[in-house]
A and B are shown apart, each in its own frame.
Chain A
Amino acid sequence: MSGKTASLSAEPISAADGRSLESRAPTPWELRQIEAAPKSRNRIAADRATCALPLVLAAAVLAQYKLTPNLNDAATTDVYTCFILLLASAVLVKFVMSFFSKKTFEKLLEKAPLYTAAFLFFALYDYATIKTGILPLPYFPWPDRILNGIYEDRALLLDCIKNSLILLFSGYFAGAAIGLLTGLSAGLSRRVRYWVLPLIQILGPIPSTTWLPIILIVAASLFGGSVFLIALGVWYPVTMTSMQGVLNIPKANFEAARILGAGKARLLFRVALPAAMPNIFQGLTQGMSVACTALMVAEMMGVESGLGWYINWQRGWAEFAKMYGAVIVICVTFSVVNFLLSLVKRRVLRWQEGYWN
């Protein structure tokens, strides 16, 4: 498959030139190109302009930042300049590449309005803070301050990220593993279901963070207590979805497996588990957002490390720029975690219909 894709960029297929198809089948991407209606010349020019728009806005951001006077002659650094330049050059690279690769062009065209909006936001925010003070200090620090805050505390922040991730994943994996076990066995066995269902019905509606005050007192270690808290939050959705997933599996799958000689373990791990995976991943995704919430609450209320602790600690010093910085770092961290989860999901569920497009 990858071999075919490699040869593709060497001899691109155009919609008009259907003959070159006779030698080989088109890739899914080529297929969409062939089946799409052809674009007019004006349309292509407009699309190129759309792609260039984020660059224009980026230039505007920089021009405003460097050239117009600041409120009260506030001092600024070039950290923000670098930041904007970095973003803009990433777009620029794509823009240049889009002239050579149609695929990059399509992707950039799709994303360009979003990039434009992002730069527009930066321009407006700068204007409202450092340039005019419509949004006053200290509650609304300008981006340059926030970036400098992150940069100053980078070592501490990295350490916080590490501690947060350790806590998050300890709780997440514990909760997911136990949830899978209870969910799968409840799905497979009526007797287990008899005992698990009431448990779910009682514990399910209680947000797991409700337990925090009790855990803070009862738990031998704060870390252990927080792991438990996060695990509890993940356990519920994973149990629910994996049980439902197993109950939804067509009976014929189990029958076919039994006919072919599958024993209990194989029915559990090679039939029930993979067949319920689409459902289970719903629970895992839901569980991740619950886990992130529980992590933040636990760190803000008790655990003395991590990003939640950091933001709370900075509040004590009224360091608004660093609090905003922490929010950004938290956002990026969780986005990366969720992205990784979606990669795993794509890989595991690649057998599903519709996963190829």
Chain B
Amino acid sequence: MTARAGHVSLENVTKIFARADLNSTLVALEGVSMEIRPAEFVSIVGTSGCGKSTLLRIIAGLETATFGRAYCDGELIAGTNPKRGLVFQEHSLFPWLSVRENIAFGLRATGRYRSGAGLVDALISIVGLSEFADSYPHQLSGGMRQRVSLVRALVVSPDVLLLDEPLGALDSFTRMNIQDELLKLWNEHKNTMILITHDVDEAIYLSQRIYIMSPRPGRIAGEIPLRMSYPRNRSSSEFVNVRNEILRRLDFAKEEQEEYNL
């Protein structure tokens, strides 16, 4: 892994969707600019429907920005690249492959299966799914599927890992365990992490910077740098203060949306 890879930069990105049924368009993102340094861990929080997934899909190369540009390591993002991994919000495992084969898919696709086969099993056991390595996705619970999706993206060790609410379906205990695993993996690989989450505590616990988005159209409403050292204490006064600040700002963003609608 090259130390300096994983720089993501968005310049005034606007995304407009066509709404086929209504013969109208919808501005999902407007003038979003971001600068994310290599090996940085940032989170994006915002109310539902404010364009977080759209933003991530643009960085992944699954959508193209209507206006503005998105760059990764100085190159204009056009199309997908295994250097930018994505953990989907909804479960997108391949139903015809077993857990192990789902995870190995990326290694096979990039011709690294031989060297990485051991890693597959190691990661499966880290997320506690050793017993289910040969099961098919429909035999797993929602949370188990999320863990498999996470590992499937991790195993190819992308420079940028885009996480779209990857722990949403997990119980709080498993969630905390996997958060710690994420931090550990991030420390080892020093890749760039961009995490979308509804869980403000999760954002504070994990990230070095938090973007707050406001809805309709989706914009960056604010940015909160976090300088606490890892591992973070969820009940420290600093943690609680940041949480209150974010909740206040999200609330504010909601009011703004209501005004906008009027």
Bitwise interface map of A from 213 to 255 toward B, beta carbon under 8 Å scored 1, else 0: 0000000000000000000000000000000000000101101
Q: Is the CB of B92 within 8 A of A261?
A: no
Task: Enumerate chain A residues within 8 angstroms of B60, measured Cβ to Cβ.
Answer: 259
Interchain CA distance A259-B59 in the complex, whole Å: 11
B105 is an interface residue with CB less than 8 A from chain A: yes
Bitwise interface map of A from 247 to 290 toward B, beta carbon under 8 Å scored 1, else 0: 00010110111111111001000110011010000000000000
Task: Enumerate chain B residues within 8 angstroms of A277, measured Cβ to Cβ.
Answer: 96
A317 is an interface residue with CB less than 8 A from chain B: no
A252-B88, A253-B92, A266-B109 known; A259-B97 Cβ under 8 A: no
Q: Is the CB of B109 within 8 A of A275?
A: no
Interchain CA distance A260-B153 in the complex, whole Å: 7
B95 is an interface residue with CB less than 8 A from chain A: yes
Q: Is the CB of A261 within 8 A of B136?
A: no
Q: Is the CB of A260 within 8 A of B109?
A: yes
Task: Enumerate chain B residues within 8 angstroms of A253, measured Cβ to Cβ.
Answer: 92, 94
**What is the CB-to-nearest-CB distance from A218 to chain B, in angstroms, rounded to a whole number?**
42
A271-B94, A275-B96 known; A256-B88 Cβ under 8 A: yes
Q: How large is the interface on A (under 10, 10 to 19, 20 to 34, 35 or more residues)?
A: 20 to 34
A255-B62, A351-B97, A351-B136 known; A262-B92 Cβ under 8 A: no
**What is the CB-to-nearest-CB distance from A25 to chain B, in angstroms, rounded to a whole number?**
11
Task: Enumerate chain A residues within 8 angstroms of B62, measured Cβ to Cβ.
Answer: 255, 258-259
Q: With CB as the reference atom, state the residue of chain B lying closest to A271.
A: B94
Task: Enumerate chain B residues within 8 angstroms of A35, measured Cβ to Cβ.
Answer: none
Tell me which residues from 105 to 155 in chain B have a Cβ below 8 Å from any Cβ of chain A: 105-106, 109-110, 136, 138, 152-153
Q: Is the CB of B94 within 8 A of A256?
A: yes
Task: Enumerate chain B residues within 8 angstroms of A351, measured Cβ to Cβ.
Answer: 95-98, 136, 138
Task: Enumerate chain B residues within 8 angstroms of A255, measured Cβ to Cβ.
Answer: 62, 80, 88, 92
B52 is an interface residue with CB less than 8 A from chain A: no
Bitwise interface map of B from 158 to 183 toward A, beta carbon under 8 Å scored 1, else 0: 00000000000000000000000000
Task: Enumerate chain A residues within 8 angstroms of B90, measured Cβ to Cβ.
Answer: 252
**What is the CB-to-nearest-CB distance from B55 to chain A, in angstroms, rounded to a whole number?**
16
Task: Enumerate chain B residues within 8 angstroms of A259, measured Cβ to Cβ.
Answer: 60, 62, 80, 82, 84-86, 153
Interchain CA distance A255-B92 in the complex, whole Å: 9
A259-B80, A351-B136 known; A274-B96 Cβ under 8 A: yes
Task: Enumerate chain A residues within 8 angstroms of B79, measured Cβ to Cβ.
Answer: 258
A353 is an interface residue with CB less than 8 A from chain B: yes
Interchain CA distance A112-B33 in the complex, whole Å: 74
Tell me which residues from 49 to 91 in chain B have a Cβ below 8 Å from any Cβ of chain A: 60, 62, 79-82, 84-86, 88, 90
Interchain CA distance A261-B156 in the complex, whole Å: 10
Q: Is the CB of A261 within 8 A of B97?
A: no
Interchain CA distance A271-B102 in the complex, whole Å: 11
Q: Is the CB of A261 within 8 A of B96?
A: no
Q: Is the CB of B95 within 8 A of A261?
A: no
Contact partner of B138 (CB less than 8 A), chosen from A252, A256, A257, A353, is A353
Most A Cβ at <10 Å: residue of B93, B96, B98, B106: B96
Interchain CA distance A258-B81 in the complex, whole Å: 8
Tell me which residues from 193 to 242 in chain B have a Cβ below 8 Å from any Cβ of chain A: none
A257-B109, A259-B62 known; A252-B82 Cβ under 8 A: no
Task: Enumerate chain A residues within 8 angstroms of B88, measured Cβ to Cβ.
Answer: 252, 255-256
Q: Is the CB of B109 within 8 A of A262?
A: yes
Task: Enumerate chain B residues within 8 angstroms of A274, measured Cβ to Cβ.
Answer: 94, 96-97
Q: Is the CB of A261 within 8 A of B94?
A: no
Interchain CA distance A26-B62 in the complex, whole Å: 45
Task: Enumerate chain B residues within 8 angstroms of A266, measured Cβ to Cβ.
Answer: 109
Q: Is the CB of B105 within 8 A of A260?
A: yes
Interchain CA distance A187-B127 in the complex, whole Å: 37
Task: Enumerate chain A residues within 8 angstroms of B82, measured Cβ to Cβ.
Answer: 259-261
Most A Cβ at <10 Å: residue of B80, B110, B152: B80
Interchain CA distance A124-B58 in the complex, whole Å: 74
Q: With CB as the reference atom, state the residue of chain B lying closest to A354.
A: B138
A351-B95, A351-B97 known; A260-B156 Cβ under 8 A: yes
Interchain CA distance A195-B240 in the complex, whole Å: 63
Task: Enumerate chain A residues within 8 angstroms of B106, measured Cβ to Cβ.
Answer: 260-261
Task: Enumerate chain B residues within 8 angstroms of A250, measured Cβ to Cβ.
Answer: 92
Task: Enumerate chain B residues within 8 angstroms of A256, measured Cβ to Cβ.
Answer: 86, 88, 92-94, 152
Task: Enumerate chain A residues within 8 angstroms of B97, measured Cβ to Cβ.
Answer: 274, 351
Task: Enumerate chain B residues within 8 angstroms of A275, measured Cβ to Cβ.
Answer: 94-96
Q: With CB as the reference atom, state the residue of chain A lying closest to B92.
A: A252
Q: With CB as the reference atom, state the residue of chain A lying closest to B155.
A: A260
Task: Enumerate chain A residues within 8 angstroms of B85, measured Cβ to Cβ.
Answer: 259-260
Q: With CB as the reference atom, state the residue of chain A lying closest to B98.
A: A351
Interchain CA distance A258-B136 in the complex, whole Å: 21
6 closest Cβ pairs, A-B complex: A261-B82, A260-B106, A252-B92, A274-B96, A261-B109, A258-B80
What are 19 contact pairs spanning A and B, CB under 8 A? A252-B88, A255-B80, A256-B88, A256-B94, A256-B152, A257-B109, A259-B60, A259-B80, A259-B82, A259-B153, A260-B106, A261-B81, A270-B105, A274-B94, A274-B96, A275-B95, A351-B96, A351-B98, A352-B138
